[in-house]
């Protein structure tokens, strides 16, 4: 099993690098919260390490009053649009160039990921809609669970993505 | 040792930066030399239960106020420092 390029498939596991994903960070201004910010974009942003899906955008809780918004789009104005909508209640900055996203799915996805993170991924405590900002092999990652397959998206800073892929290949080989 | 971050949950201490004892407030720029010296250099270095500041750098990037026993490493509480001292 050699991991080259952007993806590979094996029994019980699929790994792919997602393309055309836009990112923006959202930081609440004073006295603002997930509810007051969310109402400007048609919902309420959940507080805590959880995801909120509004339209075609996933809002990932990354800290008190902070979220990472992400969407599958080639549009370059994702962050600008969000900034316009949230003006006055939150600061938005474009992070699209900063992250690479790897999607891991299949029966063995949890087992593979659990080798890297020092948090409990058991479905009783980490399931669809849960998120975590943590480290894998000293590499900063943001993880969120998409479905109960399970499917996880893992965002790493772009310059670390070759190192992350190296960790993936290495961990997979030692299964 | 693991710290239960009030936002992120149960995490390994590798994710945190240890700042040190949770001291009183900065004495202010107009305070005398001794008060400043005391604030910057003096630590009680307690053997037992104490309060400390930890920064969750590989997580929610917040300062955490942790009550910990320096002998047993038992952690009694952890809360966001920005929510206040008590
Ligand atoms: Zn945290």
Domain ranges of chain B: 2-83
A63 close to B (CB below 8 A) = yes
Asked if omega into A28 is within 30° of 0 (cis), the reply is no
Q: Which residues from chain B sit within 8 angstroms of residue A62, using beta carbons?
A: 60
Residue A174, pLDDT above cutoff 90: no
Mean pLDDT of B8-29: 92
B21 - beta bridge partners? B52
Please tell me the predicted confidence (pLDDT) of residue A6.
Answer: 53
Ligand 1 mean position to A135 CA, how many Å? 12
- Domain A6-19+99-169, CATH number (from 3.50.50.60, 3.30.1360.120, 3.90.220.20, 3.30.70.600): 3.30.1360.120
In the predicted structure, residue A4 carries a pLDDT above the cut 60: no
* B contacts of A134 (beta carbons < 8 Å): 8, 11, 15, 58-59
Quote helix, strand, coil % in chain A, to nearest 5: 20, 40, 35
Contact B60 A66 (CB under 8 A): yes
Of all residues in chain A, the one with the smallest CA distance to B8 is A49
Least CA distance to A126: which residue of chain B? B9
Contact residues on chain B for A49, CB-CB shorter than 8 A:
7-9, 60
Quote the pLDDT of residue A1: 47
Overall average pLDDT of the A105-111 stretch: 94
| pLDDT for res A5 | 56
Summarize the confidence of residues A82-94 as an average pLDDT.
98
DSSP structure string for B7-62? TTEEEEGGG-EEEEE-------TTS-HHHHHHHHH-----SSEEEEEEE-TTTT--
Q: B12: which chain A residues are within 8 Å (Cβ-Cβ)? A: 118
Q: Tell whether A49 is within 8 A of chain B (Cβ).
A: yes
pTM: predicted TM-score of the whole model, two decimal places: 0.91
pLDDT at A9 over 80: no
Over residues A7-28, the mean pLDDT reads 88
Return the pLDDT at A12: 85
* Tokens linked to A32: 């603002």
Instruction: Kindly tell me if the per-residue pLDDT of A7 is higher than 90.
Output: no
ipTM above 0.85, yes or no: yes
Provide, rounded to the nearest whole percent, the portion of chain A with pLDDT above 70.
94
Which tens digits make up the pLDDT trace of B36-83? 999 999 988 999 999 999 999 999 999 999 999 999 999 999 999 998
CATH code: domain B2-83 is: 3.30.2270.10
Which residues, listed in sequence order, are joined to residue A59 by a DSSP beta bridge?
A52, A69
């Amino acid at each position: 099993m050699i991991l080259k390029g952007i993806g590979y498939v094996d029994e019980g596991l699929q790994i792919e690098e997602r393309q055309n994903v836009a990112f923006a960070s959202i930081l609440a201004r004073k006295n603002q919260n997930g509810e007051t910010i969310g109402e400007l974009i048609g919902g309420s942003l959940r507080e805590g390490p959880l995801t909120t899906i509004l339209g075609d955008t996933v809002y990932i809780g990354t800290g008190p009053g902070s979220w990472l918004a992400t969407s599958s789009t080639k549009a370059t104005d994702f962050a600008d649009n969000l900034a316009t909508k949230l003006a006055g209640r939150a600061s938005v900055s474009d992070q699209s160039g900063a992250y690479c996203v790897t999607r891991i799915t299949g029966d063995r996805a949890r087992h593979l990921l659990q080798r890297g993170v020092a948090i409990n991924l058991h479905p009783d405590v980490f399931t669809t809609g849960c998120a975590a900002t943590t480290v894998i092999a000293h590499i900063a990652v943001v993880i969120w669970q998409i479905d109960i397959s399970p499917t996880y998206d893992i965002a790493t800073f772009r310059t670390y993505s070759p190192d992350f892929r190296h960790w993936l290949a290495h961990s997979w080989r030692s299964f | 040792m693991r710290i239960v971050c009030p936002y992120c949950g149960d995490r390994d201490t590798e994710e945190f930066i240890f700042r040190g004892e949770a001291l009183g407030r900065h004495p202010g720029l107009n305070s005398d030399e001794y008060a400043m010296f005391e604030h910057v250099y003096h630590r009680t270095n307690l053997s037992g239960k104490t309060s400390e500041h930890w920064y969750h750098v590989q997580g929610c990037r917040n300062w955490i106020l942790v009550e910990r026993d320096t002998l047993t490493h038992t952690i009694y509480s952890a809360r966001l420092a920005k929510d206040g001292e008590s």
